[in-house]
């Protein structure tokens, strides 16, 4: 699907094909492209069409690289960067990064974990450059893919990039936290932006048996959606993979950052990535010293030991067991629908 036309941005086609093949080989070494369908998608979808320009950081600001640069050296640098296994800053406003194209190997791992099947309908939250939607469209077909972004300029450019590559999924401008009720129900929902909590609209717009995959607290949570007598709920664990994405716009950021009072903690803990994950997940609800005590007492747990439960009344994160002793509400406050909520009986599920 989606045979792409002559590249309108001007790089040498042979050089672009060779760079793309090199990227695929690099991703394959991670084990993320064992599925032939996803390998074919990465082999055939030209990433450089989705990043006609991007920004690289420098002291005090950003440099812009673009495919139409008259300087062949800078144009070559742009093409190499487009096919590097690295995230690319695609939109910067007032010095702040607001949109990016994710690291391709991380995208591949996320798509594999999404576990799509033929005939599935997928909602993507965060259109970005459109590259991820193109990969999904290559795998499932245009009509089964919907991607949503809050910024009109982002959706317009994503639509343009997708068309240039020969793909036409549904690209909508809107609040991703509200999902897309007019295109529901979905078999899979994938977010490419960090969340403070999981919007309940996503579970409402999912079929029973659906899967939701989203960045949360520097990790990736996978949730299975189930119907129960008390109502629909979603539950699952984090993957082992670290993940850092641009925050979802249009939703409250939650409580103040948890790193404001780490002074006095042992450096080995305060700088440990998994300890910082715990602090981010609990979003300041745990005193840092209390968090450190828990983390060390429980053997410095990896991400896979944490999970999230989302019900009609609220949602919470947990360590090891959703009904165990370590449970923390997610959301802006502890009120109905956003905080601790009630635990759900598993009867009938």
Within 10 A of 252 (CB to CB), how many other CB atoms are there?
Answer: 12
- Alpha carbons within 13 angstroms on the beta-carbon side of residue 137 total 27
User: Which residues on adjacent β-strands are paired with residue 184?
Assistant: none
Asked if 81 and 87 count as a contact pair (C-beta separation under 8 A), the reply is no
Rama region for 18: left / alpha / beta (φ>0; ψ in -120 to 50; rest): alpha
Asked if 41 and 141 count as a contact pair (C-beta separation under 8 A), the reply is no
- Annotated catalytic residue 99: yes
* Sheet architecture: strand order including 61-66: 61-66, 53-58, 88-93, 96-101
Active-site hit among 99, 100, 101, 137: 99
Measured between alpha carbons, how far apart are the two ends of the chain, in Å?
Answer: 38
- Print burial letters for 44-81: b (CB count within 10 Å at least 16), e (below 16): bbbbbbbbbbbbeeeeeeeeebebebeeeeebbebbeb
Integer Rg of the chain from CA:
21
Which tokens hold the place of 316?
């919470």
Q: What are phi and psi of 156, to 5 degrees?
A: -65, -45
- Our measurement of the distance from residue 332's CA atom to the centroid of its chain's CA atoms, rounded to an integer in Å, reads 21
> What is the residue-wise DSSP string for 144-168?
GEEEEES-HHHHHHHHHHHHHHT--
CB-count exposure of residue 257 (10 Å: 0-12, 13-18, 19+)? exposed
* Sheet architecture: strand order including 145-149: 170-173, 145-149, 122-125, 186-191, 206-216, 219-226, 233-237, 306-310, 315-319, 327-329
What residues are labeled active site? 99
């Amino acid at each position: 699907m989606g045979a792409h036309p002559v590249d309108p941005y001007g790089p040498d086609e042979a050089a672009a094909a060779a760079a793309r093949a090199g990227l695929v080989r690099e991703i394959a070494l991670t084990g993320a492209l064992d599925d032939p369908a996803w390998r074919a998608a990465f082999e055939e979808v030209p990433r450089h069409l989705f990043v006609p320009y991007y920004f690289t950081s420098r002291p005090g600001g950003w440099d812009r690289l673009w495919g139409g640069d008259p300087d062949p050296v800078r144009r070559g640098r742009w093409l190499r960067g487009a096919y590097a296994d690295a995230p690319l800053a695609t939109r910067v406003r007032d010095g702040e990064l607001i949109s990016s194209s994710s690291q391709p190997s991380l995208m591949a791992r996320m798509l594999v974990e999404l576990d799509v099947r033929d005939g599935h309908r997928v909602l993507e939250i965060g259109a970005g450059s459109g590259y991820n939607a193109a990969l999904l469209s290559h795998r499932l077909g245009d009509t089964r893919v919907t991607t949503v972004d809050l910024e009109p300029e982002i959706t317009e450019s994503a639509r343009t990039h997708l068309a240039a590559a020969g793909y036409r999924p549904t690209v909508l401008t809107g609040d991703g936290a509200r999902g897309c009720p007019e295109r529901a129900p979905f078999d899979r929902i994938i977010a490419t932006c960090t969340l403070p909590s999981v919007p309940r609209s996503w579970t409402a717009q999912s079929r029973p048996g659906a899967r939701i995959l989203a960045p949360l607290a520097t990790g990736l949570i996978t949730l299975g959606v189930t119907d129960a007598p008390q109502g629909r709920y979603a539950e699952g664990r984090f993957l082992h993979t670290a993940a850092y994405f641009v925050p979802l716009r249009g939703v409250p950021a939650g409580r103040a950052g948890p790193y404001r009072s780490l002074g006095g903690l042992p450096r080995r803990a305060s700088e440990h990535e998994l300890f910082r994950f715990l602090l981010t997940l609990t979003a300041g609800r745990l005193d840092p010293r209390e968090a450190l005590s828990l983390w060390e007492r429980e053997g410095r747990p990896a991400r896979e030991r944490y999970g999230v439960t989302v019900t009609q009344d609220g949602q919470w994160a947990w360590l090891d067991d959703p009904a165990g002793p370590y449970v923390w509400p997610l959301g802006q406050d502890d009120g109905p629908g956003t905080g601790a909520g009630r635990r759900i009986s598993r009867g009938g599920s």
